[in-house]
Structure 1
Amino acid sequence: MANLVIVESPAKANTIKGYLGSNYKVIASKGHIRDLPKSTLGIDVDNNFEPHYINIRGKGDVIKELKKEAKTASKIFLATDPDREGEAISWHIASQLGIPADKACRITFNEITQSAVKESIKNPRRINEDLVNSQQARRILDRLVGFKLSEVLWKNVKSGLSGGRVQSVATRIVTEREEEIRAFVPQEYWTVEATLATEDGENVEARFFGSGKGKQKLSSKEEAEAVEAKISSGEFKVSYVKHAVKYKQPAPPFTTSTLQQEASKQLGFQSQRIMKVAQELYDGLNLGAQYGGVQGLITYMRTDSTRVSTVAQDAAREYIIENYGEELLPKTKRSYKSAAASQDAHEAIRPSSVSLHPRLVRKMLTSEQYRLYKLIWERFIASQMEAAELDTVSATLENSGYTFKMGGYVVKSKGYLTIYDNSDEKIADTEGDEINLVRLPNIKKNQTLKVVSIRKQQHFTEPPARYTEASLIKFLEENGIGRPSTYAPIISIIISREYVKRDGKSLVATPLGEITTKFMKEHFPEIVDYEFTASMEDKLDSIEQSENTIVGVLSEFYEKFERDLEAALSIDKKTEVVIPAEESDVICDKCGAKMVYKNGRFGKFLACPNYPECKSTKAIDKNGNVAENSAPAPIYADFKCEICGGDMVVRNGRYGTFYACANFPSCTFTKQKVSDTGVACPKCSSKVVARHGKGRMLFYSCERYPECDYSSWDMPLPEKCPDCGAMLYYRKSRKSVICKEKSCSYKRDEEMTVIE
């Protein structure tokens, strides 16, 4: 009998399957199999908050398959993700399969590589009840708050609204920034800069700092002109010069939060997309036989730790010596201190193998996978390199009682900047003033400099910037609100529920978000309080450390929450919700009014504001422009047309779903929607994908088909035939794995999940 290994995703299953051989069967649960019911609370508050779990709709076949395979398995290994969510999935699976609580069936690995997986098989452990309890407490608390708050918001604000423990705080953060921006009053100020000439004929730049009384702000044109008038006829004398060497240290390897922030800033990815691509890199991709076949490229991507294993440090140091030289290697290994609130359960996010340079695997990855992997690889290698050495100079100059300052730096030794530059970091001189990368001026104390030109410029102070996904995630992390795995879902939820909208990269509170936040601050101040939310996260973490119990944490919270609920539900008058419609510049064909934007089941559309007297509507595209027809709002792909560069949209045809250029009929480019199998094409090493042909018939072919003519009715597998080394296939009609080589008769009976 074979051993059974259960993971969450089919992609992860396909990767691990190739490592363990024919004595192991690897199947996927496809995420959670049990959860609280959607339509009811599902929690018995009066019975110590006992949850009532049910099988998730649509998971019946998965559970049936798990039970069937478990009956004939020699051993069962639960290999779900190495965090509290993964632990809970394993706990639910174990309860369904009747695995005793004291059975050593749980295996975890921080990276999906052959050595890591095989090592975990040797060291199974019991399911960690504390981790499970911590996840359950979060799930129960989120259900209590979400379910009960939604009831209050429906009654007192507007039907269809929903609240949440962390999403309400995130909405408040964005809303209050909007209030700050509206309340902001710009203040005028002026700057004066001088171009000066040294005795050697070299021009240098100096900026006004103040007078003998210290730093001074020029608030008007008159003040700036007064400075200009006095210094234009005089000479500048250098009163102070400071030369110094500064060291710019590399940033630590990524945590979930810093990865989301940097990928958002540098790559322009949204947080949900970042985590999806990172999951793909972790689960495993087919790199071809040359680079080890199917394997995970990065370590687990949900972590708040900057810790790195000694093995990974040694591998990085060896790589640096071989490829960049000893001069870029620090004398001692670099270690980084994790944040105080870090659980430190996992390593930082790093490449599974530093030898897999991004350029080596580029052809095997999608553009997004490559760019994110490159960012992670470079950040990790840089984190183990020598600091950059900078030569800096700062100087103070005097003229007619006014003080000017100047400074600059040059890179003496690039150090880690050789491969990774976190260039948004500011450089300051020894006095704390910001300086720029310039050629160092050759000046000395008591030297006299002549005025070449003077420039004065008007400025106005600017309001605080709106949050972007990156800056909101940074705020959440710094204030202990939420945890690494929740940042991306939080942002997705507040946008999808229209409390917040995107404006380019900025996040803007909607009128609905502002009204809901105002109601929450009045009636549920603790729920939207930053410190309270952070302390609740700490209490939930304490359950994981056996320092608290589910009942203890939930009881303490619910006592006050229940009183607030009763008070809010007793309010007679409903909050007056007046959400002004967003006006367009499109004129209604029927009555001449300016049409407004509305939301329907297919997205935004234009409607006449005089409804119901006038029922005129118009379809719009994703840019808000009037569409030529009234079809439902299209679903846009995340890539551009290969012919004209236009948007690609999802269409449904007689042979299934496909992508088409939005500029049709002027551009007729189409592309079939396919699923990656994780297997390399045996003819050209590109990806093998699942396609649907005429009559929705499923087949597998090279992604370059028909340019490459490889195709198969049977699903290709990443594992090789144990008899002849050829590619193996899964034949669904016979529920068997077969070798198609004419000279080989290898075959085994096995039921697998088909990639469609």
Structure 2
Amino acid sequence: MAKNLVIVESPAKAKTIKKFLGSNYEVIASNGHVRDLPKSQMGIDVDNDFEPKYITIRGKGDILAALRKAVKKADKIYLATDPDREGEAISYHLMKALKLENKDYKRITFNEITKNAVKNSIKQARDIDMNLVDAQQARRVLDRLVGYKISPVLWAKIKRGLSAGRVQSVALKLVCDREKEINDFIPQEYWTLDANLTGGKLKKPITFKFTGDGKNKEEISGRAALDEILSGLQDGEYVVKSIKESERNKKAPLPFTTSTLQQEASSKLNFATSKTMRIAQQLYEGVDIKGRGTIGLITYLRTDSTRISEEAVAAADKYITDNFGDIYIGDSNGRAKTDKKIQDAHEAIRPTDVTLSPVMVKEQLSRDQFRLYQLIYNRFLASQMAGAVYSVKSVKVSCGDATFQTSASKIAFDGFLAVYNLDNDRGETVAGINNLAEGDVLELDGFEEKQHFTQPPARYTEALLVKTLEELGIGRPSTYAPTISTILARRYITKEQKKLYVTAIGDAVNQSMEQAFPVIIDVNFTANMESLLDKIGEGTVDWKVVVRNFYPDLDEAVKKAEAELESIKIEDEVSEEVCDVCGRNMVIKYGPHGKFLACPGFPECRFTKPFYEKIGVTCPKCGGDVVIKTTRKGRRYYGCINAPECDFMSWAMPSNEKCPECGKYMIVKGNKLVCSDQECGYTCNNKAAETADK
């Protein structure tokens, strides 16, 4: 009979750990949390100093019964949940639910699920860290207060079933703000000029880029400016002014954190953040490897640290020496200065055993598991290797005051590029560049003139949004994926070809939050709250003090919003459209994709049809009304009401104004009107917007 009981969260983790411990240990999984706040009510006693009311999670009765039975038989209990705040909180709730106060119980943590790590954790067993529990409890209470206080306001103002969240609402705001930036962006024209030069020992022309007057880079703002530059170049003498040879060093990348893993898996493997975390969890909890048994292949996956243990560094150095040579060992060993936002509680994400190369374990892994393990493995190995060195040759050619330049590079020492290439940079060669010498006179073989337009800010992808949240200090490694998953599931945003777009319902929610709860979605406020949660975890701030200071402002904002709603007396807006079934005037309602028309006689009459909001603009193709429409995924656009007979559509809002230069319709960009034909580029002030502002 087992004398020691180890409780973990997942059955896969239990299976792996069981193989490391002898017959004196029984390992059972709790399947995650066993206690939580109730779903049917807020569960926070505001009048009793914000005391949370925890209940046993529905469906966990049988699991708890099995755990209690095992506890009675055990002499010692080890709580081995994940090594983070949430894991600490799960251990605390297990202790409470199983009534372990008078039992011999301890908390153990390990950053990797390997035999040595698990056995060493038992030797270093400790008490539950209540500071970490309180930090997680504070996050849970704050999120519950925000969600359960604000969501009913959104239900009354927009539609039932909507939700607000302390972090999710800020993430939604970021996407909405970027959407506005893109919609208001006005492209600016510019030109580039290349000269194809030949002569001397050159067998074929080399392309040189125009760089200005030699002192300052000259931006060619338009065709007139380009023509002025060209007028002085046609009959000029092109002389090789200088040839410089240099070295460029490229540092090895840092090992993965949760954020950088999600970003790189998105760009290299096309994984969504939720998929990356799910597969990484499988690699962490354990995979059955031939000849090794079941072992965890990577260290803990929720971390914002780039630190690597001395043992892992030594093992990597030996592997690199044996397989590449001493010259490939890096100087910094992947260590970085710790940012003030980084908790540094764990190591970076790395393989638990550097000798287990991806090729060795490929047959035991699924395709996605192999690809992610290979990415993590190669990134870690690269982080411990020397930087790459490039040989660069740069050639400048002058023609009067104008300067043209070209350069070529080749890898002199590949370093970490031997295993991991961030951007497929293998250098660039320019044929014939080595045949040039200073003072050579070259002949003009022609110009290449190209017109360009500045581009708006890039739309968020999941990876870019994670990066932004991390840079702003919003959320923590464990929150990125669920935050994005939530606003996608709520249909506040939609994803098309990896890019994130705001839906009509998401825009409505964000506008309501900006109007009624500006503090809650303030980026700096949310980042400061994360900092306070860190201080609770460090034991320097009491969690109830943070909640006490936060709640009055929230309560006041909610009461103000509710009062405004009462004065507005929100009712369904009656339209001029008549129900095809019963003849009643239809009303405007919100659905998952935005507004739609519904019969007010529901449930007797269930007739509905799409709602098309007219914007007061006539279609430039057929003269019909231009209306706001949404794609199947909820992205908003402007189209003709006569579709499908008329195929007019525009992502930007059109206007009735015509371009005075080319005659095409103009589109609205903030307080400007821009020609819809980018080649034309005509821009003028939007008088309607100026009048509205006044």
State the TM-score, normalized to the length of structure 2: 0.81
Superposition deviation, residue 158 in structure 1: 2.7
Contact 2:192 2:449 (C-alpha < 8 Å) held by counterparts? yes
Q: 1:270 aligns with which of 269, 272, 275?
A: 272
Can you list the C-alpha shifts for 1:671-705, whole angstroms capped at 9, x where unaligned? xxxxxxxxxxxxxxxxxxxxxxxxxxxxxxxxxxx
- The structure-2 alpha-carbon separation of the partners of 1:610 and 1:47, relative to structure 1 and needing over 3 Å to count, comes to closer
Distance 1:44-1:392 versus aligned 2 partners, 3 A rule: same
- Asked if the contact 1:329–1:386 (Cα under 8 Å) also holds between the matched residues in 2, the reply is yes
Rate the CA distance shift 1:414–1:299 in 2: closer, same or farther, 3 A: same
Alpha-carbon distance between aligned partners in 2 of 1:553 and 1:240, rounded to the nearest angstrom = 63
**1:452 match:** 445
Aligned to 2:415: 415
Give 1:212 deviation, angstroms.
6.1
Aligned length: 594
The DSSP-based 3-state class of the residue aligned with 1:20 is coil
In 1, Cα distance between equivalents of 2:121 and 2:301: 18
CA positional deviation for 1:574: 5.8
Cα shift readout 1:298-352 (whole Å, capped 9, x = no counterpart): 0000000000000000000100111112221235644222332110000000000
Cα distance in 2 for partners of 1:535, 1:341 equals: 10
- Flag the 1:147–1:453 CA change in 2: closer, same or farther, 3 A: same
Q: Which residue of 1 aligns with 2:505?
A: 512
Task: Tell me whether 294-303 or 195-204 shows the greater mean CA deviation.
Answer: 195-204
Change (3 A) 1:549 1:609: closer
Indicate conservation of the 8 Å contact 1:101/1:127, yes or no.
no
Task: Determine helix, strand or coil for the equivalent of 1:241.
Answer: strand
2:244 counterpart of 1:242: yes
State the match for 1:45 in structure 2: 46
TM-score (norm 1): 0.74
**How far does residue 73 in structure 1 lie from its aligned partner after superposition?**
0.6
* Rounded Cα–Cα distance in structure 2 between residues aligned with 1:21 and 1:439: 66
Give 3-state SS (helix, strand or coil) of 1:162's partner. coil
2:229 and 2:77 map into 1 onto residues whose CA distance is 81
Instruction: State the match for 1:117 in structure 2.
Output: 118
- RMSD value, Cα: 2.9
Q: What are the superposed Cα offsets for residues 702-744 of structure 1, whole Å, 9 maximum, x if unpaired?
A: xxxxxxxxxxxxxxxxxxxxxxxxxxxxxxxxxxxxxxxxxxx
2:10 maps to 9
SS of equivalent residue, structure 2 residue 354: coil
In structure 2, relative to structure 1, the CA distance for the partners of 1:440 and 1:126 (3 Å cut) is farther
**Which residue does 2:674 correspond to in 1?**
none
Distance apart, 1:504 and its partner CA: 1.2
2:573 is the counterpart of 1:573: no
Task: Output the CA distance in 2 between the equivalents of 1:197 and 1:447.
Answer: 10
Identical positions, percent:
46
Q: 1:101 to 1:389 in 2, by over 3 A?
A: farther
Partner in structure 1 of residue 183 of structure 2? 182
Q: List aligned pairs for 1:464-613, cutoff 5 A.
A: 464-571=457-564, 572-573=567-568
Matched, 1:441 2:436: no
For residues 292-371 of structure 1, what are the structure 2 equivalents within 5 Å?
292-330=292-330, 333-371=333-371
CA distance in 2, matches of 1:609, 1:156: 17
Q: Deviations over 1:127-150 (max 9, x none)?
A: 001010000000000000011010
Asked if structure 2 preserves the Cα contact closer than 8 Å seen for 1:156 and 1:573, the reply is no
SS at match of 1:214: coil
Q: In the alignment, what sits opposite 1:31?
A: 32
Q: Find out whether 1:218 has 2:215 as its counterpart.
A: no
SS for the counterpart of 1:502 is strand
Q: State the alpha-carbon separation in 2 of the partners of residues 185 and 311 from structure 1.
A: 54
1:605-659 per-residue CA deviation (whole Å, 9 max, x = no partner) reads 9999999796699xxxxx969xxxxxxxxxxxxxxxxxxxxxxxxxxxxxxxxxx
**Contact 1:187-1:461 within 8 A present in 2 as well:** yes
- Contact 1:157 1:577 (C-alpha < 8 Å) held by counterparts: no
Map 1:112-191; keep pairs closer than 5 Å.
112-191=113-192
Q: Give the Cα separation in 1 of the matches to 2:332 and 2:178.
A: 44
Name the CA distance, whole Å, in 2 between partners of 1:162 and 1:97: 33
Task: Give, in whole Å, the separation in 1 of the partners of 2:424 and 2:360.
Answer: 28
Q: Distance in 2 between matches of 1:32 and 1:367?
A: 30
Unaligned runs of 5+ residues in structure 1 are 428-434, 581-587, 589-596, 618-622, 626-756
**SS of residue matched to 1:395:** strand
The one-letter amino acid paired with 2:258 is: T
1:101 to partner: Cα distance: 8.4
User: Match for residue 665 of structure 2?
Assistant: none
Counterpart Cα distance in 1 of 2:429 and 2:90: 52
CA distance in 1 between counterparts of 2:208 and 2:546 reads: 59
TM-superposed deviation, 1:220: 2.1
1:372 aligns with 2:367: no
Distance in 1 between residues matched to 2:301 and 2:217, nearest whole Å: 47
Q: Which amino acid aligns with 2:502?
A: A
Instruction: Provide the secondary structure at the position in 1 that maps to 2:107.
Output: coil
Distance 1:250 1:372 in 2: 19
Looking at structure 2, the residues matched to 566 and 25 of structure 1 have their Cα atoms a distance apart, in angstroms, of 53
Structure 1 residues 376, 574: closer, same or farther in 2, change over 3 A? farther
Do 1:82 and 1:108's aligned partners in 2 also have CA atoms closer than 8 Å?
yes
CA contact (8 A) 1:88 1:132 kept: yes
SS in 2 for 1:80: coil
Measure how far apart 1:508 and its partner are: 0.5
Task: Name the residue aligned to 1:205.
Answer: 207
Give the letter for the 1:441 counterpart: I
Deviations 1:183-241 (A, max 9, x none): 01111111111122252215432111223673222222233234334323333223343
Q: Is the 8 A contact 2:107 2:128 kept in 1?
A: yes
CA distance in 2 between partners of 1:480 and 1:422 (Å): 25
Q: Aligned partners of 1:5 and 1:399: how far apart in 2?
A: 78
CA distance in structure 1 between the partners assigned to 2:440 and 2:550 by the alignment: 69
Match of 1:711 in 2: none
**Aligned residue identity for 2:16:** T
Asked if 1:73 is matched to 2:74, the reply is yes
Structure 1 pair 104–575 and aligned structure 2 pair: CA distance change class (3 A) = same
Q: For residue 227 of structure 1, what is the aligned residue in structure 2? A: 229
Q: Which residue of 2 aligns with 1:253?
A: 255
Distance 2:121 2:432 in 1: 56
Please say if 1:84 is aligned against 2:85. yes
- AA matched with 2:173: R
Q: Give 2:689's aligned residue.
A: none
- Residue 167 of structure 1 and its aligned partner are, at CA, apart by 0.4
Q: Is the 8 A contact 1:298 1:351 kept in 2?
A: yes
Contact 2:30 2:63 in 1 (8 A): yes
Is the CA contact (8 Å cut-off) linking 1:393 and 1:440 kept in structure 2? no
Q: Give the letter for the 1:473 counterpart.
A: V
Shift of residue 452, structure 1, vs aligned partner: 2.2
Residue aligned with 1:404, SS: strand
**In 1: Cα distance, 2:594 partner to 2:367 partner:** 33
Displacement of 1:155: 2.0
Alignment of 1:383-402 (within 5 A): 383-402=383-402
Contact map agreement 1:393 1:409 (CA 8 A) in 2:
yes
Q: Is the 8 A contact 2:598 2:606 kept in 1?
A: no
